[in-house]
Amino acid sequence: MKSDIEICRDTELTPIDSIALQAGLLSEDLTPQGTLKAKVKPSVLKRLADKEEGKLVVVTAITPTPLGEGKTVTTIGLAQGLAKREQKVMACIRQPSMGPVFGVKGGAAGGGFSQVAPMEKLNLHLTGDIHAVTAAHNLAAAAIDARLYHEERHGYEAFAEKTGMAALRIDINRIVWKRVMDHNDRALRMITVGKNQPGKTINGLEREDGFDISAASELMAILALSKDLADMRQRIGRVVLAYNIDGNPVTAEDLQVAGAMAVTMCEAIEPTLMQTLEGVPTLIHAGPFANIAHGNSSVIADRIALKLSDFTITEGGFGSDMGFEKACNIKAQQAGRGADCAVVVATLRGLKANSGLYDLRPGQALPEAIFAPDDKALVAGFENLKWHINNAAKYGVPVVVAINRFPQDSDAELAALKTMIEQAHFSTHVDVAISEAFGKGGEGATELADAVINACQQPANFKPLYSLEQTLEEKLMTVAEVGYGGRGVELSDLAKQQLAELKAQGHDNLAICMAKTPLSITHDPSLKGAPTDFVVPVRELKLCAGAGFVYALCGNVMTMPGLPEKPAYLALDIDEDGNITGLS
């Protein structure tokens, strides 16, 4: 079989203005970026205000292996399958981060015959949204350190006199805004900034700092959750960058940098229209990393797609405890629109990985044995699938299990899995379909499409797990107990102190955004399957007042990945005609 990029290059694509027209977008709604990408103006929502919305299908998955179980393949394949069934459909996915593209996982355009095209444009830069988020974020970081330096250098009073601006009196030990970069760069996790040659202080004030990956920026969450430009501008103003020496928050508005940050992101708020290999219109918006970020595609993109199509297929990263939980509890509550159906992607290899019978390590290839039939591992791993089906059911939506077939999978083992699902008892409507979207495109996903059409006709009663009126503790407990099936949370001393402060500052009504490993439904990546006897350790809480949530760091989760021994970038190259090789 040809490589992903070869398949993509050999497919004849439709000019994006035709794709747009077909989708119901007018030329005044678009800013084309070349012939195969176009920015879509959010103002289109005014024109479409009176249109009825279609069905919202959120694709989630079992607890994945580090290579992923094909959620984007299934998302794109399903959209193509629905198009084969003559349905009006759009897909909404997130812009890939260059971290995974050059790191372990590779690109995030789908794969095989279910890709967003051109995949090399999607995987690299696209229309610059992540760069814009990075630039806006780091402008605020530079602004804090500069203000700290100048106020210290002159003294507060002299600074105020010289500039006509009140001193902000930032507490150097309480700067909570790190810097960001869209690369897997572990050496930047913990750094010291503002170092000077002995006797000089021209490089600012020395302090401990660090970089997160750009997708984990609060600004990325703001981009995803804003309903329009004015909303984004206001949210950016509310972002807390630091605390002053009296313990009061210093916001981006206080620093007078919020306007410039919003200006930097003013094109990023427009989703990018592309197409699948079979010409299904696809909107790309906001960033990935549903483990350490909100990590869902944007409210604006979903809303546009819902207005333009009968089925909007979107995805939440990793298992249903990760992106799907945030799609339901954070995004749906802010957007006022929940899912009509959940698709849970499962693979034979992924279930066997969840049996705990294989020695899997992040950054390493999966053992060959996992692709051979293994009844014992499948039965053990099936517990994980059951868990995710029941988990999706808690949100009141019908479920479709999409078994994503890999070339090595045997018919017998696939049939066995299907039977196991059909014979199990679940608390919601559950359909099951085998998807061959990777190898066969939309034709390989018509069974899945039919199942989704059927599921969307079932009564749906979407509800988030918590309401915003509950206290922060109640929400944390709800996610840990109901969302993960554990025995609650244990707050570190730091987190306890932060919780008390957040409550005192009136932030009890915010949502909770959990940051934890995606490789287990718990906080511990080594606990596979469907464990129940665990308590989630919350080591730190961070206020994200602009995004509208409190960010809870659980276990040892890290917010900046690292490159493995043999990173994906080794294979990449380009010839003199601009043909890229090695991207997958």
Residues in the chain: 584
Determine which residue in the list 203, 419, 471, 509 makes contact with a copy of itself, applying CB under 8 A. Answer: 203
CB of 42 to a copy of itself, least distance (A): 10
In angstroms, give the least distance from the CB of 539 to a copy of itself.
12
The minimum distance between CB 129 and a copy of itself, in angstroms, equals: 10
Asked if 259 interacts with a copy of itself (CB under 8 A), we say yes
User: Which of 485, 195, 499, 455 has the alpha carbon at shortest distance from 339?
Assistant: 455
Q: How far is the CB of 323 from a copy of itself (least distance, A)?
A: 25
Smallest distance from the beta carbon of 164 to a copy of itself, in angstroms?
A: 8
**Residue 456 contacts residue 492 (beta carbons within 8 Å):** no
The Cα 188–Cα 182 span in angstroms is: 12
Nearer to a copy of itself, 141 or 491 (CB): 141
- Whose Cβ is closer to a copy of itself: residue 510's or residue 560's? 560
Assess 124 for contact with a copy of itself (CB under 8 A).
yes
Residues 6 or more apart in contact with residue 322 via CB below 8 angstroms: 290, 291, 295, 316, 516, 518
Report the distance separating Cα 217 and Cα 141, nearest Å: 12
Interface with a copy of itself includes 365 (CB under 8 A)?
no
Task: Give me the least distance between CB of 192 and a copy of itself, in Å please.
Answer: 4
Binding site listing for ATP = 65-72
Binding a copy of itself (rule: CB under 8 A), the pick from 18, 256, 457, 532 is 256
Binding of a copy of itself by 563 (CB under 8 A): yes
- Of 44-103, binders to a copy of itself (CB under 8 A) are 98, 102
- Please tell me whether residue 143 binds a copy of itself under the rule CB under 8 A: yes
d(C-alpha 287, C-alpha 76), whole Å: 17
Looking at the Cβ atoms of 36 and 420, the one nearer to a copy of itself is 36
Angle between helices 218-225 and 129-154 (to 10 degrees): 130
263 in contact with a copy of itself (CB under 8 A) = yes
Question: Is residue 104 a contact point for a copy of itself (CB under 8 A)?
Answer: no
Tokens of 28: 């005044």
Site for a copy of itself in 539-558 (CB under 8 A): 558
Near a copy of itself by CB under 8 A: residue from 45, 172, 176, 205: 205
Q: Which stretch binds a copy of itself (CB under 8 A): 260-268, 310-318, 349-357, 459-467?
A: 260-268
| Among residues 85, 88, 125, 227, the one that binds a copy of itself under rule CB under 8 A | 125
Q: Which two tokens stand for residue 427?
A: 């608390």
Choice between 181 and 468, CB closer to a copy of itself: 181
Cis omega (within 30 of 0) on the bond before 96? no
**Tokens 């279609």 appear where?**
54
CB-count burial class (<10 Å; 0-12, 13-18, 19+) for 365: exposed
Identity of the residue numbered 345: V
Residue closest to 471 by CA, chosen among 516, 506, 522, 498: 506
CB 456, CB 55: distance < 8 Å? yes
Give the contact letters, 209-248, x = binds to a copy of itself (CB under 8 A), - = no.
x------------------xxx--x---------------
From the number of C-beta atoms within 10 Å of its C-beta (0-12, 13-18, 19+), residue 526 rates as exposed
Residue 154 or 429: the one with the smaller Cβ distance to a copy of itself is 154
Binding mask 157-196 toward a copy of itself (x if CB under 8 A, else -) reads --x--xx-x-------------x-xxxxxxxxxxxxxxxx
Using CB under 8 A as the binding rule, whether residue 450 contacts a copy of itself is answered as no
Q: Does the footprint of a copy of itself cover residue 368 (CB under 8 A)?
A: no
Confirm or reject binding of residue 146 to a copy of itself (CB under 8 A).
yes
> Cα separations (Å) of 149 from 170, 250, 258, 495?
10, 15, 20, 29
* 250 touching a copy of itself, by CB under 8 A: no
Q: Does 515 bind a copy of itself (CB under 8 A)?
A: no
Q: Among 316, 136, 330, 306, which residue's Cα sits nearest to residue 225? A: 330
Q: Closer to a copy of itself at the Cβ: 268 or 397?
A: 268
Query: How many residues sit close enough to a copy of itself to count as binding (CB under 8 A)?
Result: 86
Q: Does residue 423 sit in helix, strand or coil?
A: helix
Closest CB to a copy of itself among residues 182, 218: 182
User: What SS3 class is residue 207?
Assistant: strand
User: In three state form, how does the secondary structure of 439-455 look?
Assistant: HHHHHHHHHHHHHHHHH
Considering the rule CB under 8 A, would residue 139 count as an interface residue with a copy of itself?
A: yes
Find the shortest distance in angstroms from Cβ 356 to a copy of itself. 24
Whole-Å CA distances, 265 to 261, 495, 543: 6, 32, 21
| Residue whose CB is less far from a copy of itself, 366 or 572 | 572
Q: Is residue 361 within the footprint of a copy of itself (CB under 8 A)?
A: no
CB of 101 vs a copy of itself, minimal distance in Å: 9
Q: Which residues make up each annotated binding site?
A: 65-72
Enter the tokens of residue 46: 């005014």
Beta strands in 492-559 (DSSP E): 511-515, 536-544, 549-554
Contacts of 417 (CB under 8 A, 6+ apart): 346, 348, 351, 378, 382, 403
Q: Under the criterion CB under 8 A, does residue 474 sit at the interface with a copy of itself?
A: no
